[in-house]
Amino acid sequence: MIYFDNVSKIYPDGTVALEGVTFSVKQGEFLSIVGHSGAGKTTLMKLLLGEGDCTSGSVSFDSVDIQKVKMKDMPNLRRRIGVIFQDFRLLPNKTAYENVAFAMEIAGKTDEEIASDVPHVLELVDLSKKMWNFPRQLSGGELQRVAIARAIVNHPDLIIADEPTGNLDPINTYEIVQILKKINDLGTTVILTTHNKGVVEALGKRVITMDHGRVVRDDPNGKYAL
């Protein structure tokens, strides 16, 4: 499904963000990517989303070279990818329901589809009773669950979760991880970037360790080794 082929990324100031990175991700897999700040995790995700080009090598999504996708076609590619951010990035003047619905509106979904799907995904993340609450009325864990609902409502093939538990306490962290596992169990590929050793080892899934822009470990059994 996803293939990084000998990817390097060097920024104009000479900073080497990635160096000779090669790995693949199968459909339906759950992959955690770990590494200290500056290891290259964020750059990997940006290249996968088509936010910048590789200096060398290629990144493919379903056999399509992302660097060769025309700008006008990039929104179609990105609709197949749901992204969950550490800082939630919700619209403060819209309710939980409206934040999720907005993602469907952008994708061109009908009012009927929105009315059907939004309550369903909010129920999936256990927010049915708070769908009309505004972000300021929700806890950190609830905000992240709205962000997850928004990411999955258009039925993407891939979920990228970029440090989704970074601002959460252990209880909320556990709940978010359980939701991501549920999404994966339903067939969606999940890539998680995290610093949290407990999250990685609780998952027991494949882990790639990054260090100074290189893949230094690829463990199928969920070990966190830095």
Considering the domain boundaries, does residue 13 fall inside one?
Answer: no
Considering the domain boundaries, does residue 62 fall inside one?
Answer: no
Query: What's the alpha-carbon Rg for the chain, to the nearest Å?
Result: 17
**What pLDDT, on the 0 to 100 scale, is given for residue 86?**
84
Beta pairing partners, 121: none
pLDDT band at 116 (very low <50, low <70, confident <90, very high): very high
Provide the domain count of the chain: 1
Q: Where are the beta strands (DSSP E) in 76-128?
A: 81-85
Considering the domain boundaries, does residue 160 fall inside one?
Answer: yes
pLDDT in tens, 164-183: 988 888 889 999 999 999 99
Cβ-proximal residues to 36 (8 Å cutoff; 6+ apart), any chain? 195, 211, 226
Considering the domain boundaries, does residue 113 fall inside one?
Answer: yes
| In the chain, % of residues over pLDDT 70 | 100
Considering the domain boundaries, does residue 20 fall inside one?
Answer: no
**What pLDDT, on the 0 to 100 scale, is given for residue 226?**
66
What is the DSSP code string of 129-150?
A: GGTT--GGGS-HHHHHHHHHHH
Residue 225, pLDDT above cutoff 80: no
Residue 198, pLDDT above cutoff 90: no
**What pLDDT, on the 0 to 100 scale, is given for residue 85?**
87
Considering the domain boundaries, does residue 205 fall inside one?
Answer: yes
Q: In the predicted model, what is the mean pLDDT of the chain?
A: 94
**Distance between CA 105 and CA 95 in Å, rounded?**
15
pLDDT band at 195 (very low <50, low <70, confident <90, very high): confident
User: Which of 62, 69, 54, 68 shows the shortest CA–CA distance to 22?
Assistant: 54
pLDDT band at 222 (very low <50, low <70, confident <90, very high): confident
Considering the domain boundaries, does residue 147 fall inside one?
Answer: yes
CATH number at residue 193: 3.40.50.300
**What pLDDT, on the 0 to 100 scale, is given for residue 53?**
94
Domain that holds residue 198: 32-52+79-219
Considering the domain boundaries, does residue 173 fall inside one?
Answer: yes
pTM of the complete model: 0.93
pLDDT in tens, 66-106: 999 998 999 888 889 999 988 899 999 999 999 999 999 99
**What pLDDT, on the 0 to 100 scale, is given for residue 122?**
97
Residue 4, pLDDT above cutoff 70: yes
Task: Tell me the mean pLDDT in the region 22-36.
Answer: 96
